[in-house]
Structure 1
Amino acid sequence: MKMNGRRYGIAAALAVLLLAALWTLRPGLTPAEAEPTPEEIAARIHKSAIVIDTHVDIPSFFGSALYDPGLRNAYPVQVDLPRMREGGLDAAFFIVYVSQTERGAVGYAEAASEALAKFAAIRRMTDIQYKDEIGLALDAADVRRLHGEGKRIALIGIENGYSVAKEPALLDFYYDLGARYFGLVHNGHNDLSDSAQPQEKFADKPNEEGGEHDGLSELGRAMVARANDLGLMVDVSHASRAAALDAIAASRAPVIASHSSVHALRPHPRNMTDEEMLALKEKGGVIQIVAFDEYLHDVPEEKKAARRDLAVSLGLTSLDAFFSADAETKSKFVAGVAELDAKWPRATVATLADHIDYAVKLIGIDHVGIASDFQGGGGIEGWSHAGETANVTIELVRRGYDEEQIAKLWGGNQLRVMEAAEKARKAK
């Protein structure tokens, strides 16, 4: 009996193993679910996270037949609604940029006119042309609401405080038009701030070390205070190191660097030093690492000179000129740039991720974001237009960032700063 019982036990065990084996061989079933690929994880992230690009430039005729944001446009357009949908880009700060010119009544008037044209163009897109597809967000709650409705989201940032001249009341006016961050300066000192890339013809004093104001001017400090009062985020990209540190210290709300990269990896005046990034973190702010070739790696002077010469030879000496050029001229420029990129390759999404990695290790995942600077010189191999946005996410997944971390990088951190600026607002 003892032997028979043992045989019975062995037979039962074998039967269980056989049934298990047969179960795993049923059609459509596998012993274990396959690990999702980085592409699958990225697709999942883009369905749930709010993906925000904090810097997209536009020409003054944005919203016209020359640049219809509802259509898939040819180069030099890098951001339109079809590409935003294709790349999983939910939101973008469209930029009211004004060029730096001679300070004085004429220059101030021209800057204000240029700014108003861009405000009007953005509002035309969101309020008239494509109001069923994209909405204007005026606060973080609007961003979340519009995302929940399945719409693309437009936000507005100002680049170059030259557009406010010496009139703080203009800042109130621009806020009422929808501006939600205020970039103090661009290339060339202005009345508010020293620039990271000064141009002597746009400075009241020669650009000796120390700049014109040794950082922020008193008017600049007053503008930072007024921005805080309005609930308008202060942006220190393009500011000199002294001006950036001044603005961070002066602001009572967190500050952003809307499109900068890491100076330790690429020593460029436009990139932020460890000191600046640590100060930004201390104030609760965010640096948005930007996909701008020259800020991510060294670009030979020979290539830069050849690209400038190509643009000049084709009459493409401004952003508006690029957009209004005929198809043949654009084609020649694209072909010429492709030849230069073949000889001297552009930075890649991996290079961008290197800068993100460095910033995250230095100041933490809560203080880093991502920007393109599309249509203002941005664009790298793998992220050359909004339709390729998911490629950045895929690279971050491959590097071990989890879904929560990537959601912070792509927009969560920016929304936190936006909410903090809103809380700092004082009644007018």
Structure 2
Amino acid sequence: MMAGSAKTAPFTYFEWMVARRYLGATRSGKGVSLISVIAFGGIMLAVFALIAVMSIMQGFRLTLLDQLLGTNGHAHVQADVPIRNYDDLAARIADLPGITQATPLIEMPVFASAEGETGMVIRGVRREEILGNDYVSGSDHIVDGSVETFGIGEKGGDEILLGSRVASQLGVRAGDKVRLLTGQGPETAFGRTPRSKVYTVGATFHVGNAEYDAIYGFMPLEQAQLFFGYGDSVQNIEVKVDNPEEIKSYRDALADVGKGLYVIDWQQRFQSYFNALQVERFAMRLVLFLIIIVATLNIVTGLIMLVKDKTGDIAVLRTMGATQGSISRIFLLSGTMVGFLGTFAGIILGSLFVLNIDPIENGLSALIGIDIFPAEVYYLDGVPAKLELHEVALIAGFSLFMSFITTIYPAWRAARLDPVEALRYE
């Protein structure tokens, strides 16, 4: 029996040893070839970039969603006319399965003036709603003043709460006076006339979302009914549920609470916004996956050159008894090791980057002297990032899969070499 026909177990120590030595692709077998280093670096940077970008985009989405749903209701039950029996309606909604809160609400645009002037939106809510909303009344969100006296006094009192950026535009602090102007004044023969009233700033709050902090303020519900001319009615019932992501499953039950009611949920209100984020996230993932494909193609280049360089060695191994399968596995292992090490390094680098993104952002901003993540542009105070294990696993799996796929052709070519022809010119 010829030595080359002997059957050997796959992936033996001999195959691993030769594959490791071939990574050097040098005559001495020491060190690592430049092509292997380039392939390793390309895969590492591609995996790092994909983990970092996808984590930031997911963090941005989750942070924005958390802020929007923390400061706004998950759905609004309303009618074509002001709702009069709102306490009874809110109680019936609150009794529905999965409903955590049902609050009467009036939300109207106003013009505010003090030292400065700005347009804003006033939300008329009850005192308990403010005290239970940590994004507004939490100790780490109150910038100035206190919410302790909000909603206390005749007709709810005259204290209002302002977003930090609204207060900055108006040039006011807690205790200062602000004049609000609305077009919802008394009805006359010539239409509604404007109405204005001076209120005291009870406190300023900071949600962390630049857009929200620059637009919204809160007023006691009783005062909003008086100021906007709603009498004993409200605009809608704001609803919060156990599972906001499944808000559509609550719509039918909410609409059936009373006649003439319809529901607008948060997905409808912010649909275009979150659809844009979803499309952008998909497109970014696709582009970065293509970068991984390009990076792994360096393995093909390196292995093809390695096969040509090691033609004589392959012929000698074949004459010593190595099978075509053994030769093929040696080059599969060489290429896959580069892919595995690059992927592993990219995961470590990307994870460390995401977990330390705030210090990195602060350091880069200090180094170049400008804010690289301005809140006015991105609507958030800092760079949000969420490292998700399933996303990392998907990236790692794709990178390893491509690393394996790109080794098949060079390994096949190495196994097909005729040892007689290869040794003829040696």
TM class by smaller structure? under 0.3
Higher strand share: 2
For normalisation by structure 2, the TM-score amounts to: 0.22
Q: Decide which structure has greater helix share.
A: 2
Report which of the two structures shows the higher radius of gyration computed on alpha carbons.
2
The structure showing larger relative contact order (alpha-carbon pairs under 8 Å, at least 6 residues apart) is 2
